[in-house]
Amino acid sequence: MADRPVMVVTGGSRGIGAGISLHAARSGYKVCVNYASAADRAREVVDRIRAQGGEAAAIPADISQPDDVARLFEEAGRALGPVRALVNNAGIDFPSPLADADVGSIRRLIDTNLLGVILCTREAVRRMSTRRGGNGGTIVHISSIAAVHGGLPGGSVYAASKGGIDSFTLGIAKELSTEGIRVCAVRPGIIRTEMWQGQASEQEVEEMGKRAVPLGRAGHVDEVAGVVVWLCSGAASYITGAMVNVSGGREIFVRD
């Protein structure tokens, strides 16, 4: 087990993050399942990984807080070994017309969705960079197809945070290209996850997929997870700075 690479998945306790954690474990990674508050859910993911013969640890951290981020990587290193892959998945949303949105909610969204990605990437680079004594690695950011089309009405702040991730991906991929670190982003479209709770029912999500996605359906978590884990693998060794849309073509056919 000692030769298995270590992957940190932020927001790994549910939804796409849980799917990535499980897929990564099946692909041979030791997985740090980060969570902010869903301790029971994180332990469930870890238990499933261990039941399948994998190795994992659940580590709490608020990724918008620099001290928490540093502790996350320190604990992951102690529990599992040197980190070789980071998936910046953690994110939140609060659908609201901009005129009705309070500043506290806006700041919390930006701090989690964008600042958190930057802070986690910074911490990973300090450990992975070959210029700093590391062995290199891969970083994958979970963006959104909303970064391309601006999101649905009420989702402009969320879309802006994801647009920031896209720009950051391009810039940091260039910056790290000589330090043994590849950086990419994945843009999910309409995926069946808990993030829709409070916005739309499961049936409404399915109907949205039928009418607003060229492939005629909502996507599955595993369809995102497989792409993420592939980008972290040696099969993608000549790919950096790439934005991969996992959206069923939604970016070319947007309807509410």
Q: Annotated catalytic sites, by residue?
A: 158
Which residues fall within 8 angstroms of residue 227, CB to CB, at 6 or more apart?
186, 244, 246
Collapsing DSSP to helix, strand or coil, 247 comes out as coil
Closest by CA to 128, choosing from 70, 176, 69, is 176
Task: Measure the CA–CA gap between 256 and 242, rounded to whole angstroms.
Answer: 27
Q: Where are the beta strands (DSSP E) in 143-211?
A: 181-188
Q: Three-state SS for 169?
A: helix
Distances (CA, A) of 205 to 202, 220, 233: 5, 12, 31
94 — alpha (psi -120 to 50), left (phi > 0) or beta? beta
